[in-house]
A and B are shown apart, each in its own frame.
Chain A
Amino acid sequence: MNPNTPCIVGIGQTEYTRWGGATRSEFELAGAAIMAAAADAGVAVRDIDALTSFGDDRNEPALVQAALGIEELRFNGMVWGGGGGGSCGAVDLAAAAVEAGRARYAVAFRSLAQGQTGRFGLYDPNWRHASFIHPFGLLAAPQLLALSVRRYMHEFGVTPEHLGAFAVACRAHAQRNPAAVMRGKPLDMATYLASRMIADPLRLNDCCLETDGACAVLVTTLERARDLDVEPIAILASIHGGSRGWSTGPLGSHNQPLADYASTGAWTLARDLYAKAGVAPGDLDVAQIYDNFTGLALMSMEAFGLCGRGEGGALAASGAIAWPHGALPVNTHGGCLSEAYIHGLNHVNEGVRQLRGASTCQVEDAELCLVVGGPGPSPTSALILGRV
């Protein structure tokens, strides 16, 4: 493996609580996650020299560098877009920085305390394309994305039980994860089907959590990683972008290419990701798929080749994504549906744990993990992580 290969050598996270449950400020949570990632890697916090984030994170480097005593900031960057589309993209920026020799120890982080800074489920007048959705009573993500999910179910014969199978699998995984907000609250199909409608066809249990917490990932080159007392996890490929005409897609414009309406539109991203990593979907051992809503996660599995078009529901219902017996367990931490909503950076942390052999739903001898960021608006992002 090329000594310049970017590797994740540290992961950090804070406690996760339901929104409003954090006892520390969002800024303090950011610092705590970054310090935890540095400690995990055995890198001094002051030696971090690049900071990246996404999702309009409020904790800009001007604050973070000063608070953490970072000696020299050599690179920083933010993936545009207010949602989780940039989760893997922030890691992609960190990887690009170390691979290009612009920084030595790059940290991608996300701190999101919805109890302090506003819940995503509330009306936001600054939403992109607001004039074309708000006057019609579409004022929150589940309402907008329900339009995509309805069309998806119509085109491909996807059923409520298909959506529920994804939610039930994530919840089962969360029961083993001490960090998961929904640990101790198991979910079966009957309970799923009985949960109240939010925006038909999306029920309460199709929707991600609203939580407080922070995550961070420390990236360096394989060559530098060799000097650390940690097993480096290689970023075999990382990507962020979007395809033509997609725009804000189901969260705003609704005029993405017609044939791709009932999809996440990430087909070209997936093609380029696998080509760069030199692997195929069939080579994967485990996957962490951004799950703001069940239906979108099913479409995401299709876009990234875990099954054919329209087969995401059948894949979930087959048990293939459920640990421990499924052929390709998905969201082994519980995902945004049942662990926490750290805008998908928690999915990256879980990918690293799987390849370290440290997940609470450990896939035996996991060597390759796909991580996919938030679907819908452009840009979105993804990673393929591998053992060195």
Chain B
Amino acid sequence: MSAYLPAGVPLPAPDPWEAPFWDFCNNKELRFQACAKCGAVRHPPAPTCPQCLSGAQDWIAASDDAELFTYTIIHHANHPALKAVVPYNAAVVVFPALGHVRLVTNIVGDAALRIGMPLTLVWESPAPGRWLPRFAPRTVGGAR
């Protein structure tokens, strides 16, 4: 099955303090940075906790309550790799159980998008050994 966006779209090229997030992703684990001292979850990653200034870190698994916070349908591509796939969506997903930490992503498939719709995590590989977290509509209370 082909990925939602084609090869050639820029891959993550993280700063050092962001790298663990992507290392987990490449292992198909979606984990957010949390403070090992006070527990506050933060994203994007940063060297210190803005609540208590501790540098001690945990990486906690994403909760399974993802929902669509906002989205756009992109009609004008500004990168050659994307010219052939317009229109495509990009979205922000929120995790209420994690203090509304938000993640930028895409919603795979062709379902109509609606703010608030429940979502479930899917993994797509844009290149060998690389994995990106994307989301698909989730049927509440049952299997898809």
- B-binding residues in A (CB < 8 A): 121-123, 125, 129-140, 142-143, 146-148, 150-151, 154, 196-202, 244-245, 247, 252-255, 258, 261
> Is B75 a contact partner of A199 (Cβ separation < 8 A)?
yes
Q: Nearest-CB distance from B143 to chain A (Å)?
A: 27
Q: List B4-58 residues whose CB lies under 8 Å from chain A.
A: 5, 9-15, 18, 22, 42-44, 50
CA distance A58 to B91 in the complex (A): 34
> Is B115 a contact partner of A136 (Cβ separation < 8 A)?
no
CA distance A139 to B86 in the complex (A): 13
Given contacts A137-B5, A140-B78, A255-B43, contact A151 B70 (CB under 8 A): yes
> Is A132 a contact partner of B104 (Cβ separation < 8 A)?
yes
CA distance A261 to B10 in the complex (A): 26
> Is B50 a contact partner of A148 (Cβ separation < 8 A)?
no
In the complex, chain A residues whose CB is within 8 Å of the CB of B10:
123, 125, 130, 134-135, 139
> Is B44 a contact partner of A139 (Cβ separation < 8 A)?
no
Closest 4 CB pairs of A and B: A146-B72, A151-B70, A131-B12, A200-B73
Q: Nearest-CB distance from B76 to chain A (Å)?
A: 4
| Pick from A139, A150, A198: contact of B70, CB under 8 Å | A150
Q: Nearest-CB distance from A104 to chain B (Å)?
A: 41
CA distance A261 to B88 in the complex (A): 23
In the complex, chain B residues whose CB is within 8 Å of the CB of A245:
50
B123 within 8 A of A: no
Most interface-central of A130, A132, A258 (chain B CB within 10 A): A132
| Pick from A138, A197, A254: contact of B73, CB under 8 Å | A197
Given contacts A131-B14, A131-B18, A135-B126, contact A254 B74 (CB under 8 A): no
CA distance A155 to B40 in the complex (A): 27
> Is A201 a contact partner of B9 (Cβ separation < 8 A)?
no
In the complex, chain A residues whose CB is within 8 Å of the CB of B13:
125, 130-131
In the complex, chain B residues whose CB is within 8 Å of the CB of A200:
72-75, 87
- A-binding residues in B (CB < 8 A): 5, 9-15, 18, 22, 42-44, 50, 69-79, 82, 87-88, 90-92, 94, 100-106, 115, 126, 132
| Pick from A122, A135, A151, A202: contact of B69, CB under 8 Å | A151
| Pick from A121, A135, A198, A253: contact of B75, CB under 8 Å | A198
7 A–B contact pairs at CB < 8 A?
A125-B10, A132-B104, A135-B132, A137-B88, A147-B92, A197-B87, A255-B44
Given contacts A147-B90, A200-B73, contact A137 B44 (CB under 8 A): no
> Is A137 a contact partner of B43 (Cβ separation < 8 A)?
no
CA distance A372 to B94 in the complex (A): 30
> Is B76 a contact partner of A198 (Cβ separation < 8 A)?
yes
In the complex, chain A residues whose CB is within 8 Å of the CB of B132:
135-136
Most interface-central of B15, B103, B104, B132 (chain A CB within 10 A): B104
- Further contacts, 5 of them, CB under 8 A, given A147-B72, A200-B72: A131-B15, A136-B105, A146-B74, A151-B92, A201-B72
> Is A254 a contact partner of B71 (Cβ separation < 8 A)?
no
Most interface-central of A122, A142, A247, A254 (chain B CB within 10 A): A254
CA distance A251 to B141 in the complex (A): 35
| Pick from B22, B94, B104: contact of A138, CB under 8 Å | B104
In the complex, chain A residues whose CB is within 8 Å of the CB of B103:
132
Cβ-closest chain B residue relative to A150: B70
In the complex, chain B residues whose CB is within 8 Å of the CB of A146:
72, 74
Cβ-closest chain B residue relative to A147: B70
Cβ-closest chain B residue relative to A204: B76
